[in-house]
Chains A and B, each alone.
Chain A
Amino acid sequence: MTQSDGDLIDYPIPVVGAIEAPPEWEQLRQQCPVAHVRLPSGDQAELLTRYDDVKQVLADPRFTRSAADAARISENGGVFNSEMGNALPQYGDAHQRWRRMITKWFTAKRMNALRPDIEAMAERLVDEMVKQGKPADLKASLGFPLPVWVICDLLGVPESDRDRFAYWSDTLLNLTRYQQAEIDEAQAAFVAYMAGHIAAKRDEPGEDLLSELITATDSAGERLTDRMLVATGMGLLVAGHETTANMIGKMMAMLLSDRSRWEQLLADPSLVRTAVEEALRYDATAGFGMIRYLTEDVEVSSGVLPAGTTAVCSMASANRDENVFDAAAEMDLTRSPNLHLSFGAGPHSCIGQPLARAELQVVLEVLLRRLPTLELAVPAAELRPVEGLAVGGLREVPVKW
């Protein structure tokens, strides 16, 4: 794929199937690693598709998503232009101080301690799915509720409010399915709920993340304001829910669409860890990618990106780069090390990645144990991608057992 001046590619590039990578990715990596694209907002940006370029730009601490001059994804920008984006420090020392108040909740030790709870939730959801009978939609039955249950627990939100959280998160992050009025309403309702929740936790602290953050101080001795506490809760919800929900559905679709993969895991469940990493790497419907606004010139493998550029980093394309991954187009459940970029890289890499990994691993372990005869209830070719912009996934994952 070559590009002459003024020749714009519309981005996102349409996905061809639910599991296959669009052929444009390889063409772009080979022939046009910095491509001019037009975003749904009409704004223009440069698309990076090579592993080394994507990793370098994502990991560069000088650059972040937000800037007044940066290209916008969609006209309203959804949650990324919201209160959440403005209330929290976006880069530098202040960002790191905020981030390090949160990361203590996602250590390897904490994740190991959390696993039995996640497992119990997954078991309960699988019980309910089995009770309802086959065929079932694995995404709606298990993928969508599990991560929101986990986040509600983390935030000290009671079980009775889980459905509301699920609706808010779905509305805030989907840039196309809902009208702006619905998005604004969901955001206002969420902010109001969280303000009340924080006040209640201040009076009667629990064992949860928010209760502790209310009184915690960062390394400079500063406390978070209420506005920052609300934004932190919103950030954890929108970042941790739909991404993981979709990934559960996609991972299972990838593993079941080729029966030999599922059988390989049944024969050797110790492959769960590497299988999850490979599903993360192999994901072809990963969504938009990550935006970086370049405040200074940057030299990447294929040339200089001038200051003022909005770069769109396609981690999904980078994850298929043959220069980095042997047999990149093959799904290899034993691949190790697997240096995929699905969680980003550098100071802004996904804060909840240990939790996402734990949830994906637990889901896979529980399904292998409980439903070894699990299979797709429709041909893989009939799986359809979701229409939302920010996060990619499958609309449904129909299964039987």
Chain B
Amino acid sequence: MKIIIDQDKCVASGQCVTAAVDVFDQRDEDGIVVLLNDNPPDDLAADVHQAAAVCPALAIVVED
């Protein structure tokens, strides 16, 4: 699994952090997404896909 984030598109909804807190975080200065782990273990796959699905900015792409 490979995760690609687009910080320029990100609107800081925080939905990805809620879905997968071990994989996504938000910058303190503006809430923009940061990736904690771009190749997380398989047991987090469902959460990561959920995070990508609920992102209102379509800023997360997951390649399996």
Interchain nearest-CB distance for A98 vs B (Å):
11
**Are A103 and B17 interface neighbours, CB within 8 A?**
no
- Is B28 an interface residue when CB atoms closer than 8 A count as contact? yes
Bound together, the chains give a CA A105 to CA B30 distance in angstroms of 8
Known contacts A100-B31, A336-B50: A107-B56 contact under CB 8 Å: no
List of A residues within 8 angstroms of B32 by Cβ: 100, 103
**Are B26 and A108 interface neighbours, CB within 8 A?**
yes
Q: A349's closest neighbor in chain B, by CB?
A: B56
- Mostly, the A contact residues are helix
Bound together, the chains give a CA A99 to CA B21 distance in angstroms of 23
Known contacts A103-B30, A107-B26: A345-B14 contact under CB 8 Å: no
Interchain nearest-CB distance for B32 vs A (Å):
7
**Are A100 and B30 interface neighbours, CB within 8 A?**
yes
**Are A104 and B57 interface neighbours, CB within 8 A?**
no
Bound together, the chains give a CA A107 to CA B26 distance in angstroms of 7
Q: A61's closest neighbor in chain B, by CB?
A: B9
Known contacts A106-B12, A108-B14: A101-B30 contact under CB 8 Å: yes
- Is A147 an interface residue when CB atoms closer than 8 A count as contact? no
Known contacts A103-B31, A104-B28, A104-B31: A343-B12 contact under CB 8 Å: no
Contact with A along B10-31 (1 / 0, CB 8 A): 0111100110010000111111
- Is B54 an interface residue when CB atoms closer than 8 A count as contact? yes
- Is B62 an interface residue when CB atoms closer than 8 A count as contact? no
Bound together, the chains give a CA A59 to CA B21 distance in angstroms of 25
**Are B26 and A345 interface neighbours, CB within 8 A?**
no
The tally of CB-CB contacts under 8 A between chains A and B is 68
Tally B residues with Cβ within 8 Å of A.
21
Q: A343's closest neighbor in chain B, by CB?
A: B56
Contact with B along A91-117 (1 / 0, CB 8 A): 000000001110111111101000000
Q: Which of B21, B31, B58 contacts A107 (CB 8 A)?
A: B31
Interchain nearest-CB distance for B23 vs A (Å):
13
- Is B53 an interface residue when CB atoms closer than 8 A count as contact? yes
Interchain nearest-CB distance for A106 vs B (Å):
6
**Are A345 and B31 interface neighbours, CB within 8 A?**
no
**Are B13 and A353 interface neighbours, CB within 8 A?**
yes
Bound together, the chains give a CA A346 to CA B59 distance in angstroms of 9
Known contacts A59-B58, A337-B54, A339-B53: A349-B17 contact under CB 8 Å: no
- Is A347 an interface residue when CB atoms closer than 8 A count as contact? yes
- Which A residues form the contact surface with B (CB < 8 A)? 59, 99-101, 103-109, 111, 219, 336-339, 343-347, 349, 351, 353-354
Q: List 25 A-B contacts (CB under 8 A).
A: A59-B57, A100-B12, A100-B31, A100-B32, A103-B32, A104-B29, A104-B30, A105-B31, A107-B12, A107-B17, A107-B26, A107-B31, A108-B18, A336-B50, A337-B53, A343-B56, A345-B56, A345-B58, A346-B11, A346-B57, A347-B9, A347-B11, A349-B56, A351-B12, A353-B13
- Which B residues form the contact surface with A (CB < 8 A)? 9, 11-14, 17-18, 21, 26-32, 50, 53-54, 56-58
Q: A109-B26, A345-B58, A354-B13 are in contact. List 7 more A-B contacts (CB 8 A).
A: A103-B31, A104-B28, A107-B14, A337-B53, A339-B53, A349-B57, A354-B14
